[in-house]
């Protein structure tokens, strides 16, 4: 890092904190303003904030690393931009009419207050393990790569650059999030989206120039790394629909990558849960000034969501090619003697490219983009989690709490969850890769939530008892798998022992996470439907306006007036671009 790089980064932080301070001065000390920006966000801010919150640590560190190890296989997740269209066209009308603060609050109206409380707890657990801990870990990876020599001695304990970077990113993000609330998050996200796209785009261009262009990239690497289709079908099984049990493993998958069965059925479940029902994302749509702004913001975010394939996955492939050809010696550590990417080492592919490829000045811009991604993701998690804890849990026990008190509690809750996340870092360190860890935990926690939201909107017969049973059973199954996996991750990180091969817990741990996720989904659906139809149906008043079968004619007309042919055409173009990507990446 040269002096010019530090000047640019300092200027970036000055602008960021200046925007947050300006926004904080405009805020009123009310829950509506702090948690949802006064419900006055325009479509551009909604879309940019959704994208910036999503494109965080798991992409900057994890997705680039996965690109180096698995090629474009994980582009399947990024091409789920169509899920944002589902948010805008299917879910936004219900959320806009309900005027809720949180997703659990909406579920409480559809089913029962108990369902709201249970979902709040599940979501907070998911945020701690998949948002806070992951963002903190990724911040540490970036700092450890760019500033490996930095350390801090406190008594007999020495903190390396990994832990120093984690805490620095954490504190800087906390300052503007705690002070400015959702409005500060939205405005700073708009700024960070621009910095992130520009910085990552520059790195892609410099990497291709150093390598010799796109054709050289395709020549150096295995064609299968550019194939969205073949890695999903086991060798020798082309043209069939039968999964294969690999020798010596319980899971059915191809070379440790992503099976067609899991991608076809499990990935959309995780995608629809994340984009359409997770407080972390949907809170931006809840803050829109009307249904039109929320829908347009969702469509705009869908366009932005297509870019990570080229901003993160392709740089990961470029890093692998540069390492194999030896054109950038600093990247040699991410591959083994045979030229294959090392999963844990490949997590540093993106920051290593920043360090070894870019000239002074541009390096500062891209590092600012890295920090923007880390901080925007973490800021969104802070705000969403404080909203959940305050509005769904604390207010339940203190219904008479003042607006000022609710804001204060939200800030205190955020601090507590950050401490828990710091303690979870060793588990992530032992995972196969950051993105694999993230998708695994989401796969364990998402299915029951997806089930109760989607089935609850489309089937008026499902009741509160069925919803509660599905949430609890699905959550127990997910936490059980997470508890089984944790000692293995700690073992790989050097903190604990693993399981005896062939034992029951070893079998559970080796069952591929997407198949286990599908098992949770099937069990959740069966439990919800069986319990609901075995008990009394909900009253007409309870489901009025909350399912497709109970929406009034007036509500339908109002929703229809909020969109025109422009929104339809824009949505169709997103689908065409997704199809084009699948057709191009065929090896």
What is the average pLDDT value for the chain, to the nearest integer? Answer: 79
Domain encompassing residue 47 = 3-146+161-395+427-584
Q: How confident is the model at residue 525 (pLDDT cuts 50, 70, 90)?
A: very high
Band (pLDDT 50/70/90 cuts) for residue 182 is: low
Tens-place pLDDT, residues 223-234: 888 887 765 444
Residues 190-206: pLDDT tens digits? 777 777 788 788 888 99
pLDDT of residue 435: 61
Q: Is the pLDDT of residue 266 over 80?
A: yes
Mean pLDDT: which of 106-120, 248-262, 371-385, 429-443 is highest? 106-120
Average pLDDT of 50-61?
Answer: 73
Domain-located, residue 401: no
Ranges of beta strands (E only) in 1-44 are none
Question: pLDDT grade, residue 458 (50/70/90)?
Answer: very high
- Residues with Cβ within 8 Å of 281's Cβ and at least 6 positions away in sequence, in order, are 50, 53, 54, 87, 274, 275, 380
Q: Which two tokens stand for residue 501?
A: 């091969």
pLDDT over 50 at 163, yes or no = yes
Question: Within 43-102, where are the H helices?
Answer: 43-54, 57, 64-70, 75-78, 82-86, 92-98
pLDDT at 48: 87
Residue 494 domain flag: yes
Please report whether residue 107 resides in a domain.
yes
Look at residue 247 in the predicted model and tell me its pLDDT.
38
Q: pLDDT tens, 342-371?
A: 877 787 788 888 888 888 888 888 777 777
Q: Is 495 helix (H, G, I), strand (E, B) or coil?
A: coil
Lowest mean pLDDT among 49-63, 245-259, 391-405, 460-474: 245-259
Residue 418 included in any domain:
no
Is the confidence at residue 430, as pLDDT, over 70?
no
Q: What is the chain's length?
A: 587
Write the DSSP assignment of 218-261 as a string of letters.
HHHS-GGGGBSSGGGS-TT-TT-----B-TT-SSB-STTS--HH
Please tell me the predicted confidence (pLDDT) of residue 133: 66
Tens digit of pLDDT for each residue in 209-228? 999 899 999 998 888 888 87
Q: Is the pLDDT of residue 280 over 50?
A: yes
What average pLDDT score do residues 500-505 get? Answer: 79
Task: State yes or no: pLDDT of 409 exceeds 50.
Answer: yes
pLDDT of residue 230: 60
Q: CA–CA separation, 277 vs 35, rounded Å?
A: 17
Q: Is the pLDDT of residue 556 over 70?
A: yes
Query: pLDDT class for 387, splitting at 50, 70, 90?
Result: confident
Residue 102: pLDDT over 80: yes
- What pLDDT, on a 0 to 100 scale, did the predictor assign at position 175? 66
> Binning pLDDT at 50, 70 and 90, where does residue 404 land?
confident
Minimum mean pLDDT among 252-261, 307-316, 571-580: which range? 252-261
Give the Cα separation of 349 and 376 in Å (integer): 21
**What's residue 503's pLDDT?**
81
Contacts of 480 (CB under 8 A, 6+ apart): 508
| Average pLDDT of span 406-431 | 68
In a domain, 98, yes or no: yes
pLDDT tops 90 at residue 260? no
The answer to whether residues 158 and 164 touch, using CB atoms and an 8 Å cutoff, is: no
Q: Encoding tokens for residue 88?
A: 């805008």
Is residue 444 included in any domain, yes or no? Answer: yes
CATH number for position 132: 1.20.1730.10
What pLDDT score does 237 carry?
Answer: 45
Model pLDDT, residue 354: 84
> Given this model, what pLDDT does residue 248 score?
36
Is 407 part of any domain?
no
Question: Across residues 21-27, what is the average pLDDT?
Answer: 68
Looking at the structure of the chain, the number of domains it has is 1
Give the SS3 label for residue 461.
coil
pLDDT of residue 36 exceeding 80, the answer is no
Query: What is the pTM for the complete model shown?
Result: 0.79
- Contacts (Cβ under 8 Å, ≥6 apart) of 157: none
- Separation CA 544–CA 457 (nearest Å): 11
Task: Indicate if the pLDDT at residue 446 is higher than 70.
Answer: yes
| CA-based R_g, the chain, Å | 23
Answer yes or no: is 412 within a domain.
no
Distance CA 196, CA 302 (A): 16
Compute the average pLDDT of residues 558-578. 94
Q: Give the model's pLDDT for residue 251.
A: 36
Kindly state the percentage of the chain with pLDDT values over 70: 80
Tell me the two tokens of residue 29: 């000390």
Please state which of the ranges 130-139, 339-348, 564-573 shows the lowest mean pLDDT: 130-139
Q: Predicted confidence band at 245 (pLDDT cuts at 50, 70, 90)?
A: very low
């Amino acid at each position: 890092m040269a002096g010019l790089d530090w000047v640019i980064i300092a200027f970036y932080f000055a602008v960021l904190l200046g925007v947050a301070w300006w926004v904080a001065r405009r805020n009123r000390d009310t829950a509506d303003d702090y948690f949802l920006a006064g419900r006055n966000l325009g479509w551009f801010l909604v879309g940019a904030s959704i994208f910036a919150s999503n494109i965080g640590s798991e992409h900057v560190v994890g997705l680039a690393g996965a690109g180096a190890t698995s090629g474009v296989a994980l582009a399947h997740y990024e091409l789920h931009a169509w899920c944002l269209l589902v948010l805008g066209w299917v879910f936004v009308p219900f959320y806009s009419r309900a005027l809720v603060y949180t997703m659990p609050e909406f579920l409480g109206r559809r089913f029962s207050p108990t369902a709201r409380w249970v979902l709040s707890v599940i979501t907070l657990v998911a945020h701690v393990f998949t948002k806070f801990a992951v963002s903190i870990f990724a911040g540490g990876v970036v700092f450890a790569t760019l500033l490996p020599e930095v350390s801090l001695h406190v008594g007999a304990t020495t903190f390396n650059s990994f832990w120093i970077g984690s805490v620095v990113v954490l504190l800087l993000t906390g300052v503007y999030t705690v002070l400015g609330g959702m409005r500060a998050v939205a405005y700073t996200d708009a700024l960070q989206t621009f910095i992130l796209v520009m910085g990552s785009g520059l790195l892609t261009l410099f990497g291709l120039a150093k390598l010799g262009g796109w054709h050289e990239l395709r020549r150096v690497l295995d064609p299968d790394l550019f194939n969205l289709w073949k890695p999903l079908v086991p060798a020798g099984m082309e043209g069939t629909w039968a999964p294969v049990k690999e020798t010596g493993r319980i899971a059915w998958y191809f070379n440790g990558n992503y099976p067609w069965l899991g991608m076809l059925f499990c990935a959309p479940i995780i995608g629809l849960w994340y984009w359409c029902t997770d407080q972390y994302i949907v809170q931006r749509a809840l803050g829109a000034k009307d249904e039109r702004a929320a829908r347009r913001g969702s469509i705009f975010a869908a366009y932005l969501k297509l870019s990570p394939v080229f901003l993160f996955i392709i740089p990961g492939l470029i890093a692998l090619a540069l390492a194999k050809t030896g054109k950038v010696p600093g990247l040699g550590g991410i591959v083994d003697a045979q030229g294959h990417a090392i999963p844990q080492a490949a997590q540093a592919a993106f920051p290593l490219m920043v360090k070894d490829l870019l000239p002074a000045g541009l390096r500062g811009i891209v590092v600012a983009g890295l920090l923007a991604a880390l901080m925007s993701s973490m800021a969104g998690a802070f705000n969403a989690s404080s909203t959940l804890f305050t509005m769904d849990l604390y207010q339940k026990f203190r219904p008479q709490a003042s607006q000022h008190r609710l804001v204060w509690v939200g800030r205190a809750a955020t601090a507590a969850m950050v401490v828990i996340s710091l303690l979870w870092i060793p588990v992530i360190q032992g995972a196969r890769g950051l993105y694999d860890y993230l998708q695994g935990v989401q796969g364990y926690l998402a299915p029951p939530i997806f089930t109760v939201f989607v089935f609850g909107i489309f089937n008026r017969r499902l009741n509160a008892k069925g919803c509660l049973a599905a949430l609890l059973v699905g959550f127990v199954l997910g936490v059980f798998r997470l508890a089984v996996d944790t000692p293995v991750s700690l073992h790989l990180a050097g903190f604990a022992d693993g399981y005896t091969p062939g034992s029951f817990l070893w079998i559970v741990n080796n069952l591929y996470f997407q198949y286990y996720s599908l098992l949770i989904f099937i069990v959740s659906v069966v439990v919800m439907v069986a319990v609901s139809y075995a008990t009394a149906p909900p009253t007409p008043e309870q489901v009025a306006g909350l399912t497709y079968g109970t929406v009034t004619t007036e509500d339908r007309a109002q929703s229809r007036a909020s969109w025109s042919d422009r929104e339809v055409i824009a949505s169709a173009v997103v689908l065409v671009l997704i199809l084009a990507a699948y057709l191009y990446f065929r090896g």
